[in-house]
Amino acid sequence: MSDFRKDEVALLWDVSELVGLFDTERGLDAFLAQSVSKIAWHMRAAVCAIYLWNAGTGELVLRAYQGLAPGLEGKLRLRPGESLTGLALEKGQPVREARGQDNPRFLRIPEVYEERYQGFLAVPIKRRMKGVGVIVVMDPQWNYFTENDERALQVIAAQLGGVIENAALFLQLKGGTGTPVAERAGADSFGPGLHRVKVQGASGEMAVGLATRIGNYLSEEQARPAGLRRLDAEDFEKAFAATDSQLIDLQKTLEEKLHDAASMIFGAHVLMLRDEAFSGQIRARIAAGEDAYDAALGEIRAYKNMLQHSGIPLLKEKVLDVEDLGHRLLSNLATAGSGEDGAKGMPDYGGRIVIAKELVPSDILKLSAEGAEALVLLSGGQHSHVAILAKALHMPLAIAQDERLLRIPENTLVMLDMKKGELVVRPGEEADLAAMEIVRQRALREQGGEGVKAQTVTRDGTRVSLRANLNLVSELAYAKKVHAEGVGLYRTEFPFIVRSAFPTEEEQYLFYKAAVEQMEGHPVVFRTLDIGGDKALSYFPTQHEENPVLGLRALRFSFRNPEIFRTQLRALLRAAHGAANARLMFPMVGSVDEFLRAKAETVECLHALERAGIPAHLPALGVMVELPAAVEVVEDLAAEVEFLSVGSNDLIQYMLGVDRTNEQVASFYAPHHPAVLRSLARIVRAADAAGKDVSLCGDLATDTRILPFLLGIGLRTLSMDPTAIPRVQRAAEQIDVGVAKAQAERLLKLRTAAEIEGCLAEMADAAAEEEAGNGNE
Catalytic residues: 385, 697
Give me the 476-495 binding string for ligand PEP, x by CB under 6 A, dash otherwise: -------------x-x----
Interaction between residue 648 and ligand PEP (CB under 6 A): yes
The answer to whether 232 and 286 are in contact (CB under 8 A) is: yes
| C-alpha radius of gyration, the chain, whole number | 28
Interaction between residue 647 and ligand PEP (CB under 6 A): yes
Which of Mg ion, ligand PEP, none is residue 331 near (CB under 5 to 8 Å by kind)?
none
The answer to whether 491 and 470 are in contact (CB under 8 A) is: yes
The answer to whether 465 and 486 are in contact (CB under 8 A) is: yes
Give me the 612-641 binding string for ligand PEP, x by CB under 6 A, dash otherwise: --------------x---------------
* Secondary structure (3-state) at 87: helix
Signed CA dihedral, 380, 381, 387, 388: sign only: negative
Interaction between residue 530 and ligand PEP (CB under 6 A): yes
Residue count of the chain, please give it.
Answer: 777
Which of ligand PEP, Mg ion, none is residue 260 near (CB under 5 to 8 Å by kind)?
none
The answer to whether 586 and 530 are in contact (CB under 8 A) is: no
* Neighbour-count burial of 202, counting CB atoms closer than 10 A to its CB (0-12 exposed, 13-18 middle, 19+ buried): buried
Q: Which of 161, 647, 708, 722 binds Mg ion (CB under 5 A)?
A: 647
User: 422-425 and 195-203 as β-strands: parallel, antiparallel, unpaired?
Assistant: antiparallel
Interaction between residue 97 and ligand PEP (CB under 6 A): no
Of 307, 280, 311, which is closest to residue 296 (Cα–Cα)? Answer: 280
Q: Which is nearer to ligand PEP, 374 or 624 (CB)?
A: 624
Which of Mg ion, ligand PEP, none is residue 348 near (CB under 5 to 8 Å by kind)?
none
Which of Mg ion, ligand PEP, none is residue 456 near (CB under 5 to 8 Å by kind)?
none
Stretch that binds ligand PEP, among 191-199, 369-377, 646-654, 706-714 (CB under 6 A): 646-654
Interaction between residue 714 and ligand PEP (CB under 6 A): no
Signed CA dihedral, 672, 677, 680, 681: sign only: positive
Stretch that binds Mg ion, among 221-229, 396-404, 648-656, 721-729 (CB under 5 A): 648-656
Q: Which is nearer to ligand PEP, 368 or 382 (CB)?
A: 382
Shortest Cβ distance from residue 361 to Mg ion (Å)?
A: 16
Q: Which is nearer to Mg ion, 249 or 545 (CB)?
A: 545
Signed CA dihedral, 676, 680, 686, 690: sign only: positive
Which of Mg ion, ligand PEP, none is residue 697 near (CB under 5 to 8 Å by kind)?
ligand PEP
Shortest Cβ distance from residue 647 to Mg ion (Å)?
A: 4
Which of Mg ion, ligand PEP, none is residue 747 near (CB under 5 to 8 Å by kind)?
none
Which of Mg ion, ligand PEP, none is residue 648 near (CB under 5 to 8 Å by kind)?
ligand PEP
Interaction between residue 697 and ligand PEP (CB under 6 A): yes
Angstrom distance (rounded) from CA 723 to CA 731 = 14
Angstrom distance (rounded) from CA 723 to CA 339 = 44
Stretch that binds Mg ion, among 173-181, 241-249, 391-399, 619-627 (CB under 5 A): 619-627
Other Cβ atoms less than 10 A from the Cβ of 10: the count is 11
Interface with Mg ion (CB under 5 A), residue total 3
Q: Which is nearer to ligand PEP, 387 or 606 (CB)?
A: 387
Stretch that binds Mg ion, among 342-350, 597-605, 623-631, 734-742 (CB under 5 A): 623-631
Q: Which of 650, 659, 693, 703 binds Mg ion (CB under 5 A)?
A: 650
Angstrom distance (rounded) from CA 94 to CA 160 = 15
Q: Which is nearer to ligand PEP, 336 or 697 (CB)?
A: 697
Q: Which residues partner with 463 through β-bridges? A: 457
Shortest Cβ distance from residue 530 to ligand PEP (Å)?
A: 6
Shortest Cβ distance from residue 634 to Mg ion (Å)?
A: 16
The answer to whether 525 and 487 are in contact (CB under 8 A) is: yes
Buried b (16+ CB within 10 A) or exposed e, 222-253: eebeeeeeebeeebbebbbebbbebbbebbbe
What DSSP state is assigned to residue 276?
A: I
Angstrom distance (rounded) from CA 77 to CA 154 = 22
Q: Which residues partner with 113 through β-bridges? A: 109
Shortest Cβ distance from residue 572 to ligand PEP (Å)?
A: 17
**Footprint of ligand PEP on residues 538-597 (CB under 6 A)?**
none
Angstrom distance (rounded) from CA 701 to CA 719 = 7
Q: Which is nearer to ligand PEP, 576 or 588 (CB)?
A: 588
Which of ligand PEP, Mg ion, none is residue 489 near (CB under 5 to 8 Å by kind)?
ligand PEP
**Amino acid at residue number 453:** K
Q: Which residues partner with 48 through β-bridges? A: 66, 137
Interaction between residue 321 and ligand PEP (CB under 6 A): no
Which of ligand PEP, Mg ion, none is residue 248 near (CB under 5 to 8 Å by kind)?
none
In the β-sheet with 77-78, what is the strand arrangement from edge to edge? 77-78, 59-66, 47-54, 130-139, 119-127, 95-97
The answer to whether 49 and 136 are in contact (CB under 8 A) is: yes
Angstrom distance (rounded) from CA 712 to CA 706 = 10
Interface with ligand PEP (CB under 6 A), residue total 10
Stretch that binds Mg ion, among 127-135, 265-273, 544-552, 647-655 (CB under 5 A): 647-655
The answer to whether 166 and 268 are in contact (CB under 8 A) is: yes
Angstrom distance (rounded) from CA 549 to CA 557 = 12
Q: Which of 622, 698, 708, 726 binds ligand PEP (CB under 6 A)?
A: 698
Q: Which is nearer to ligand PEP, 106 or 559 (CB)?
A: 559
Q: Which residues bind Mg ion (CB under 5 A)?
A: 626, 647, 650
Binding site for ligand PEP (CB under 6 A): 489, 491, 530, 626, 647-650, 697-698
